[in-house]
Amino acid sequence: MNKPIPLHQRRRRTMALLASALLGVATCSYGSLVAQPVAAPAKYMLMKIRLTVDGQTAIASLYDNATARDFASMLPLILTMEDYDSIERVSNLSRKLSTQGAPAGMTPEAGELTHYAPWGNLAIFIEPRSYSRSLLPLGKVDEGLSILARPGPYKLRIERVTP
């Protein structure tokens, strides 16, 4: 028969599990804390898209959120991409996208596809930048960012990748 675990050990284990959940740490068998890297939250993917410039192709994944679904409903698109602040390529869309359930803003990474809600444009980040309010996540370039990093203006065709 199993012997009951003393209260002080249950409390220690409970606190270690709580710390693990809140701080992204793991517990070893003795209940001490061991630092572990905290993984970025998973972003669920909606679909793959193809971005073509002068016959060269980049592939990206759209996130599964209302803004990205609204963007996907506009495909295929042909846009003229312009340089903006040397770290992003932007183009106006024919309409603003849904902001339902969107975050207040984001800190984009290189390769991030975004929608800047106030201007209603698509922005592809070539380099990371600091937090920007009203910048909404659409997706991420999986391969071929260098194709999109060329100086603008250039024509970009965006379409769904069919399985």
Percentage of residues in the chain having pLDDT higher than 90: 69
For 27-36, write each residue's pLDDT tens digit: 344 444 443 3
In the prediction, which pLDDT does 8 show? 52
Query: How far is Cα 81 from Cα 58, in angstroms, rounded to an integer?
Result: 14
Provide the token pair at 116.
């800047």
Angstrom distances, CA of residue 10 to CA of 4, 6, 44, 62, 97:
10, 6, 36, 44, 51
Query: How far is Cα 158 from Cα 42, in angstroms, rounded to an integer?
Result: 24
In the prediction, which pLDDT does 71 show? 97
Residue 42 predicted with pLDDT over 50: no
Residue 113 predicted with pLDDT over 80: yes
Q: Looking at the domain covering 45-160, what would its CATH class be?
A: mainly beta
Q: What letters, b where the CB count within 10 A reaches 16 and e where it falls short, cover 126-151?
A: beebeeeebbbbbbbbeebbebbbee
Domain residue extents for the chain? 1-39, 45-160
**Amino acid occupying residue 41:** P
Binned at pLDDT 50, 70 and 90, residue 24 comes out as: very low
